[in-house]
């Protein structure tokens, strides 16, 4: 499918601070669902891409293509003479929403949002906003060893396994502990040294942290209205959170 918009006279794509900006994936001004495995990224179509996570060593960029209900991966190593960077679907079924429970052979997502990559363990964490859960995807293939997963495969990365880290698929709620409930989780950030995953639990107006060793989820005791983006400074033990509807960015001391 192909959609477009009309650009009024005088509108142009600017380059901030006069730095060159190159289109990596998608088509400027168009959205839709296009781009099978290994497809040229600049010929693909995305629909409301949200979060990014980059594997610098492997030169792979993960994209949450939200309303196509998929996670895509762009191979940044693709040579220019071969058409440039290639894009593939690494998780989800394009234009088909669902939950992790729907089909044992195909991983379904519903408006994936935040991403966090644990390169050392080969894990990708996904905030599956429409299903009110955070998922852990075990990556294999490419730089992560031999492929052998059964969910979604491309020439670079395979999903070897998928599991729920927090929440219950399709159930919105507010609860902590080992049986935690979330509501429309947005941003994620990972403290890989302490094995802690922070979640912007947007629908519940709270920030949460999951101890990935035990699976226990706790709420962080601060006042926030609509948390979306998260970033962490592990050395200073500081968490930064954007509060979308309050038009502010908060700094949280985790010590």
What is the band of 80 on the pLDDT scale with cuts at 50, 70, 90? Answer: low
pLDDT above 70 coverage of the chain, percent: 84
| pLDDT at residue 144 in the model | 31
| pLDDT at residue 148 in the model | 33
Summarize pLDDT for 26-49 with one digit per residue, the tens: 998 899 998 778 889 999 999 999
* pTM (predicted TM-score): 0.87
What is the band of 188 on the pLDDT scale with cuts at 50, 70, 90? Answer: very high
Summarize pLDDT for 149-166 with one digit per residue, the tens: 333 434 456 677 899 999
> Looking at the predicted structure, is the pLDDT value of residue 208 above 90?
yes
What is the band of 227 on the pLDDT scale with cuts at 50, 70, 90? Answer: very high
Largest CA distance in the chain: 57
| pLDDT at residue 74 in the model | 94
Compute the distance between CA of residue 147 and CA of residue 107 in angstroms, rounded to an integer. Answer: 16
């Amino acid at each position: 499918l192909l959609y477009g918009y009309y650009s009024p006279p005088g509108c142009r794509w600017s380059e901030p601070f006069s730095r060159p900006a190159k289109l990596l994936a998608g088509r400027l001004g168009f959205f839709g669902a296009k781009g099978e495995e290994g497809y040229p990224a600049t010929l693909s179509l995305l629909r409301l891409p949200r979060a990014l996570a980059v594997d610098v060593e492997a030169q792979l960029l993960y994209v949450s293509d939200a309303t196509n209900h998929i996670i895509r991966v762009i191979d940044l190593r693709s040579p220019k003479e071969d058409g440039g960077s290639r894009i593939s679907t690494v998780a989800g079924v394009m234009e088909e929403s669902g939950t992790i429970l729907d089909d044992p052979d195909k991983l379904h997502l519903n408006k994936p949002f935040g991403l966090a990559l644990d390169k050392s363990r080969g894990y990708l964490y996904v905030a599956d906003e429409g299903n009110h859960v955070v998922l852990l995807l075990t990556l294999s293939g490419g730089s992560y060893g031999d492929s052998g997963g059964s969910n979604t495969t491309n020439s670079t990365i395979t999903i070897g396994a998928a599991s729920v880290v927090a929440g219950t698929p399709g159930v919105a709620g507010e609860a902590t502990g080992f049986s935690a409930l979330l509501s429309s989780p947005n941003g994620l950030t990972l403290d890989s040294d302490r094995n802690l995953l922070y979640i912007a639990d947007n629908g519940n107006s709270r920030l949460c942290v999951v101890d990935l060793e035990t699976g226990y989820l706790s709420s962080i005791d601060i006042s926030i209205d609509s948390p979306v983006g998260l970033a962490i400074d592990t050395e200073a033990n500081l968490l930064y959170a954007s509060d979308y509807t309050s038009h502010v960015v908060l700094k949280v001391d985790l010590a």
